[in-house]
Structure 1
Amino acid sequence: MKKMNNFVIVDDDSTSVLICKFIIQKFNPQAKVSTFTEPEIALDKIGKGFGDFTEDIQAILFLDINMPSMTGWEFLEVFNNFNHKIKEKFIIYVLSSSVEDFEKKAKKYPFVSGFLSKPLRLNYLEEINILKP
């Protein structure tokens, strides 16, 4: 089974980002990992054509909910307004230590694939790789 190669981490906590990168590299040493500690910059890059949208490449995006400048929910609200060609390139998982009404809020964003509790674990990546569309 082919492993996912492209990952995006949006999290203001540098320790969490470091753990994510370590686990992703353990899962797939050839993985390309882009990290953003400021969600606004991530949205700007995604909106301007993050990667080559002419290729059939998808990325798994891990999104933290509790960030100081913009919450994960606010991030998803902006992401929701992107062109469908951009949105279909990302498989989004909320990766957070805060469960805060996830089920109820996530229904508003059908493009969110699920919730994962921090820290990122190798078995999460193995399950995602099996479930990816």
Structure 2
Amino acid sequence: MPKLSFILLVDDDSTTNFLNELMLRKLAVADQLLVALNGKEALDILLEHCESPVSPCPLLVFLDINMPVMNGFEFLEAYAQLPWAKQRATVIVMLTTSLHARDTQRAKQLHVADFISKPLTPEKVTAIVKKHFPQDYWSHAPQP
């Protein structure tokens, strides 16, 4: 599987972050992998990387719903206010323990690309990459 340039994990649970980061590194699915502990930290990372001409914007964000400071839905609402050019290059996947119909419906309204249950597994990662970054993406992606 080809590598994405940048993945962002957003979850307040340090154990979940550790396990997801370890798995993603073993899968070698991204050149760069960063972790944010809440939606506010994630927005700060996006602003820092997406506005910089020298650092890439995350192509994929795994976002938890229930977090302190700024939860996943608050993050999505703030993210929706960013200029469209920043949004269209990033795929946001809700990764959560909540499969409540209310949450899935709200996620769809906020233009989340996918809504999957925890835990993140190699099979889920592979399916997400294949679905959202099809083979023609890789043939047009900038080469290092």
| Length-normalised TM-score, structure 1 | 0.85
Residue 75 in 1 paired to residue 81 in 2? no
Residue 67 of structure 1: how far off its partner (Å): 0.6
Deviations 1:1-48 (A, max 9, x none): 523242101111101101110111121166311101132122123134
2:106 matched to 1:105? yes
Higher relative contact order (CA 8 A, sep 6+): 1
Let me know the Cα RMSD of the aligned residues.
2.3
Q: Deviations 1:65-91 (Å, cap 9, x if unpaired)? A: 011222111110000101111112211
CA distance in 1: counterparts of 2:29 and 2:3, whole angstroms: 10
- Mind listing any 5+ residue stretches in structure 2 that lack a counterpart? 134-144
Structure 1 residues 30 and 109: CA distance shift in structure 2, 3 A: closer
Structure 1 Cα separation of the partners of residues 47 and 57 of structure 2: 16
Query: 1:125 and 2:125 equivalent?
Result: yes
Q: Give the stretch that moved more between structures: 49-58 or 67-76.
A: 49-58
Percentage of matched positions with identical amino acids: 28
Which sits farther off after the overlay, 2-11 or 22-31? 22-31
More displaced 10-residue stretch of structure 1: 25-34 or 64-73:
25-34
Q: Against the structure 1 CA distance between its residues 123 and 52, is the aligned structure 2 distance closer, same or farther, given a 3 Å change threshold?
A: farther
TM normalised by structure 2 equals 0.79
For 2:99 and 2:121, locate their aligned partners in 1 and report how far apart those are by CA, in whole Å. 17
Q: Which has the larger radius of gyration?
A: 2
- Extract unaligned runs of 5+ from structure 1: none
Which shows bigger deviation, 41-50 or 63-72? 41-50
